[in-house]
Amino acid sequence: MSTWYIESTTAKSSRIILQRGILGELNREEWAPAGTPVVVIADPTVLSKHPDLETRLAQWTGPDPIYQLDISESTKNLTTVENLYQEFGTRHVRRDTVVVAVGGGVLTDTVGYAAATYLRGIKWIAIPTTLLGQVDAAIGGKVAVNVAWGKNLVGAFHLPQAVIIDPYMLHTLPIRQWRAGVGEVMKSALIDGQWLWERLNHSVPALGSEEWDSLVEATAGIKVAIVNNDLEETASRMYLNFGHTVAHGLETYFGYGRITHGEAVAMGTRVALALSEDVLGLDGTVRQAMEHWMAEWELPLTVSQANWGAVWEAMTQDKKSRAHGLQWVLLKKVGQPVIYRDLPQSQVQEAMERILRT
């Protein structure tokens, strides 16, 4: 078992606990003491694949049923948040209510944002059930939804009081959902440059194998350490955006859900590595190593029929944009990310076309 804490000066700390099988022994009293109202919002697919978990969570909610939220990137929006507000009103949610979000990163992002904004903020717990959720989305308190012109542009910083991670839940994931999360694992290996980087270079574990327990733990630990140094993303937390500038542009351009977040991050990371080679002299073997991981996991390396100018325009709407333009995370070498500004549009479009064109 691993336990971490994210500390905040304005809120109680966020406890992150990772243990295989922990959801099989969930004790309500530990997370929501007697008398605390609880609303559970869960992905119906997760409940259908894990009926014992559904039974256990149903005991948390009292007479009210679990609210089942079937959500995707295309419905991760303010309409869904308003529906959650209406459900909170129907259930007479109060400031002492605890909302429990059970599902992937899209669900925890959306429910976390609803919790951040209802009654000016209510407590919540994240139980991520996908690889993306367990290594990235549910950790750190960044909650947000999409709008038509950009990804995650409406959001807040609202730490969950707990994140409960059970790698056992991953054994029911479809392979594409595994691929949706490995982009964040690769990104973390590159910006951290320690055990995870060495582990992936030694051998690439098959998607779905129990070898992934240690990779989930390492990736989650990297994110916790970075977030604790910079909770509100004013400096080093920006390193976690490595590969995301192009990724969010691709997701917006192609339409939410057409390519998964992990696929977009992997392709965006390839472009960021190429720009790092051009601008900072990064050794080209780093990108070759990542492309080997992508090939082993059968992630797409390229996209077809993209208008690179339109992808650039989508990127300029990204939340990482500033008055001086886009902020990039590049690598001097593995484990040494830097914030870089003023990359010209022509250079970025040339790199995207060179690296991503089919």
* 255 and 125 within one domain: no
pLDDT of residue 45: 97
> End of a domain among 172, 192, 211?
172
CATH number at residue 263: 1.20.1090.10
In the structure encoding, which two tokens stand for residue 285, read together? 């073997």
CATH number at residue 68: 3.40.50.1970
- Give the residue numbers spanning the domain of 305: 176-356
- Residues ≥6 apart with Cβ < 8 Å to 287: 270, 273, 274, 277
* 193 and 144 within one domain: no
* 144 and 114 within one domain: yes
* 154 and 56 within one domain: yes
A 10 A CB-CB count for 232 gives 12
* 102 and 251 within one domain: no
Between helices 195-202 and 284-296, what is the axis angle to 10°? Answer: 60
pLDDT of residue 1: 79
Among candidates 175, 321, 300, which has minimal Cα distance to 248?
Answer: 321
* 184 and 41 within one domain: no
* 247 and 185 within one domain: yes
Task: Determine the residue type at 353.
Answer: E
Burial class (CB in 10 A: 0-12, 13-18, 19+), 322: exposed
* 208 and 274 within one domain: yes
CA angle 137, 138, 143 (to 5 degrees): 75
* 50 and 27 within one domain: yes
> End of a domain among 142, 172, 202?
172
Distance CA 107, CA 60 (A): 19
Among candidates 187, 297, 316, which has minimal Cα distance to 246?
Answer: 316
* 241 and 151 within one domain: no
* 260 and 164 within one domain: no
> End of a domain among 141, 172, 203?
172
Four-residue CA torsion sign, 38, 41, 47, 48 = positive
Among candidates 130, 63, 61, which has minimal Cα distance to 98?
Answer: 61
* 57 and 27 within one domain: yes
Number of domains present in the structure of the chain: 2
How high is the mean pLDDT in each 10-residue block of the chain (358 residues)? 83 89 89 90 97 94 94 96 98 96 98 98 97 97 93 95 96 93 96 97 93 96 95 92 95 86 94 98 98 96 91 83 76 97 93 92
pLDDT of residue 324: 54
